[in-house]
């Protein structure tokens, strides 16, 4: 879908999904573990945010900040000695925001078995200028059928994010009107 079809004005040329796609790989060590002896979820989340930030910065050709993490699913534990691959790509773009999809895979560092998916996440980034104000981003151009599916799914997630935000604001406004002293 084009920016014009979305009702978004931009003079920036579109960029294909592959232009900013990246993989970050990291071997997990003992300093990455939690009390159970597996890799701490926060370590994985930082890798996810790092990879997604790199993709958002590449796509927008400048600074981009994490606005939200829609979902982080941990599917399997990650162990010390696992080589973790964090694959990220821009799924959707708005005026100044981008949804980045991330897949986390792990494999043993010293084995030739295929990597297995251990997690996934969706993050929203906002492109910002030197003053921290939103700036326009190029439209993303889905290249494959998988990219097109991800784009459509990202639009659904965006609709749900906005509806959830609106419902929370309305609830808070009603509660404030009923009891102005409530926190």
Tokens coding 88: 């990220």
Tell me the pLDDT tens digit for each residue of 95-108: 999 999 999 999 99
Instruction: Say whether pLDDT at 170 is over 50.
Output: yes
pTM: 0.88
Q: Rounded to whole angstroms, how far apart are CA atoms 56 and 20? A: 8
Tell me the pLDDT tens digit for each residue of 9-30: 568 999 999 999 999 999 999 9
Task: State residue 181's pLDDT score.
Answer: 79
Instruction: Say whether pLDDT at 80 is over 50.
Output: yes
Task: State residue 179's pLDDT score.
Answer: 84
Q: Rounded to whole angstroms, how far apart are CA atoms 24 and 82? A: 14
Q: Rounded to whole angstroms, how far apart are CA atoms 157 and 101? A: 11
Instruction: Say whether pLDDT at 183 is over 70.
Output: no
The separation between CA 108 and the C-alpha centre of its own chain, rounded to angstroms, equals 25
The separation between CA 28 and the C-alpha centre of its own chain, rounded to angstroms, equals 22
Q: Rounded to whole angstroms, how far apart are CA atoms 17 and 144? A: 9
């Amino acid at each position: 879908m084009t920016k014009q079809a979305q009702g978004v004005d931009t003079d920036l040329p579109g960029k294909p999904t592959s232009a900013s796609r990246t993989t970050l790989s990291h071997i997990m060590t003992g300093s990455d573990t939690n009390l159970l002896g597996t890799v701490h979820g926060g370590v994985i989340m930082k890798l996810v945010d790092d990879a997604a930030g790199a993709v958002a910065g590449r796509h927008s050709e400048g600074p981009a900040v994490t606005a939200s993490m829609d979902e982080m699913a941990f599917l399997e534990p990650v162990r010390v000695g696992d080589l973790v691959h964090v694959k990220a790509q821009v799924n959707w773009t708005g005026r100044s925001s981008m949804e980045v999809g991330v897949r986390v895979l792990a494999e043993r560092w010293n084995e030739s078995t295929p990597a297995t998916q251990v997690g996934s996440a969706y993050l929203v980034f906002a492109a910002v200028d030197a003053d921290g104000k939103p700036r326009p981003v190029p439209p993303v151009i889905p290249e494959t059928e998988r990219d097109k599916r991800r784009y459509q799914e990202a639009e659904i997630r965006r609709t749900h994010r906005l509806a959830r935000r609106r419902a929370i604001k309305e609830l808070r406004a009603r509660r404030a009107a009923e009891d102005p002293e409530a926190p």
